[in-house]
Amino acid sequence: MPNAVLVDVVRSPMGRGKANGALAQLHPVELLAQVFSSLIARTGIDPGVVDDVLIGCVGQVGEQSGTPGRHAWLSAGFPVSVPSTTIERRCGSGQQAFAFAVQGVMAGAYDVAIAGGIESMSHVPMGTNRKNSDPAGPGVHARFPGLVSQGVAAELVAQKYGQSRRALDELSVESHARAHRSSISGLFASQIAPISLPDGDVVDTDETIRPQTTAETLAALKPAFASEEMRAQFPGLDWKITAGNASQITDGAGAALVMSEERAAQLNLSPRARLVASSVAGDDPVLMLTGIIPATQKVLSKARMAISDVDRVEVNEAFASVPLAWLAEFPYESARLNALGGAIALGHPLGASGIRLLASLVTSLEVGGGRYGLQTMCEAGGMANAMIIERL
- Predicted pLDDT of residue 35: 99
* 331 C-beta neighbours (distance < 10 Å), count: 9
Split at pLDDT 50, 70, 90, the class of 129 is: confident
- Predicted pLDDT of residue 317: 98
Phi, psi of 145 (to 5 degrees): -70, -10
CA separation for the pair 27, 126 (Å, rounded):
16
- Encode pLDDT of 89-109 as tens digits: 999 999 999 999 999 999 999
Dump the DSSP string for 150-174: HHHHHHHHHHHTT--HHHHHHHHHH
Q: Does the active-site annotation cover 57? A: no
Mean pLDDT (the chain) is 97
Split at pLDDT 50, 70, 90, the class of 132 is: confident
Angle at 87 between CA 325 and CA 63, to 5 degrees: 110
- Encode pLDDT of 31-70 as tens digits: 999 999 999 999 999 999 999 999 999 999 999 999 999 9
- Predicted pLDDT of residue 131: 77
- Predicted pLDDT of residue 369: 97
Q: Does the active-site annotation cover 348? A: yes
Dump the DSSP string for 181-218: HHHHTTTTTTTB--EE-TTS-EE-S-S---TT--HHHH
| Contact yes or no for 342/91 (Cβ under 8 A) | no
Nearest by Cα to 360 from 382, 380, 377: 377
Distances (CA, A) of 97 to 39, 56, 79, 355: 16, 6, 21, 9
| Mean pLDDT of the region 251-268 | 98
Dump the DSSP string for 309-346: G-SEEEE--SBTHHHHHHHHHS---GGGBSTT--HHHH
Cα-Cα-Cα-Cα dihedral of 343, 36, 34, 249, to 10°?
A: -20
CA separation for the pair 135, 175 (Å, rounded):
33
Secondary structure (3-state) at 391: strand
Contacts of 137 (CB under 8 A, 6+ apart): none
Of 57, 91, 176, 180, which residue is the catalytic one? 91
pTM for the model? 0.98
| Mean pLDDT of the region 234-257 | 97
- Encode pLDDT of 198-224 as tens digits: 999 999 999 999 999 999 999 999 999
| pLDDT for residue 120 is more than 90 | yes
- Predicted pLDDT of residue 86: 98
Dump the DSSP string for 16-81: ESSTTSTTTTS-HHHHHHHHHHHHHHHHT--GGG--EEEEE-S--SGGG-S-HHHHHHHHTT--TT
CA separation for the pair 175, 193 (Å, rounded):
22
Name 214's bridge partners. none
- Percent over 70 (pLDDT), the chain: 100
- Predicted pLDDT of residue 1: 86
- Predicted pLDDT of residue 305: 98
Q: Please give the distance of CA 57 from its chain centroid, rounded to a whole number.
A: 11
Burial class (CB in 10 A: 0-12, 13-18, 19+), 336: middle
- Predicted pLDDT of residue 306: 98
| pLDDT for residue 128 is more than 90 | no
CA end-to-end distance (rounded Å), the chain = 19
Q: What is the DSSP letter of 89?
A: B
- Predicted pLDDT of residue 302: 98
| Contact yes or no for 24/122 (Cβ under 8 A) | yes
Q: Does the active-site annotation cover 71? A: no
Cα-Cα-Cα-Cα dihedral of 31, 37, 43, 48, to 10°?
A: 120
- Percent over 90 (pLDDT), the chain: 97
- Predicted pLDDT of residue 130: 81
- Encode pLDDT of 141-155 as tens digits: 999 999 999 999 999
Nearest by Cα to 94 from 119, 67, 76: 119
- Predicted pLDDT of residue 48: 98
| pLDDT for residue 133 is more than 90 | no
Nearest by Cα to 5 from 356, 275, 287: 275
Q: What is the CA radius of gyration of the chain?
A: 20
Nearest by Cα to 312 from 291, 338, 330, 293: 338
Split at pLDDT 50, 70, 90, the class of 166 is: very high
- Predicted pLDDT of residue 390: 98
- Encode pLDDT of 4-23 as tens digits: 999 999 999 999 999 999 99
Split at pLDDT 50, 70, 90, the class of 254 is: very high
- Predicted pLDDT of residue 272: 98
- Predicted pLDDT of residue 127: 87
